[in-house]
Structure 1
Amino acid sequence: MPRIIDIQGHKLIAALIGYFEKERDNGGSLLPVNSVRERVAAALNIRVHTVNNIAYKMKNNTLDSPKKTRRHTK
């Protein structure tokens, strides 16, 4: 069953497409290939700090979605 991608996912995919098209037009990578986290941040148009936080959570196997709270009504 295909997963539905929300608007945030669409924006991230659009950022990736734009970044890789810039690399194509440039004739190569815009940042050094060894700068993985910087390239990820640039491609997704997010801060390197955010990428570092996610990488840290991946390393410690604590990557999960934010908990959503629901107000209970009586």
Structure 2
Amino acid sequence: MKLCDYKKLNEEDQYRILWEQGVLIDACMDGEVKKLLYAIDNFYVELWCHTVTNKILWKLSFKQGKLLEKYLDKYSVQIN
């Protein structure tokens, strides 16, 4: 699935694809918000969940850029 096809889906279908095909890549805590990064084919979905209420606060799909870089910056890679 391509990112543009995913974005054309209604919210319910986007979540269905996320739960069925998404692979959890990373998770981090920011206060009472858990930020989860999922990969689906060639794009990513960032999900923010409130830890107390377990409600989804925000969802954004993307391919690259600052949203992805904040996760990549957590891991150092050394090439010899």
Which TM-score bucket, shorter chain as reference? Answer: under 0.3
TM-score of the two chains, using structure 1 as the length reference: 0.25
Higher helix proportion (structure 1 or 2): 1
Structure number with greater Rg is 1
TM-score of the two chains, using structure 2 as the length reference: 0.24
Higher strand proportion (structure 1 or 2): 2
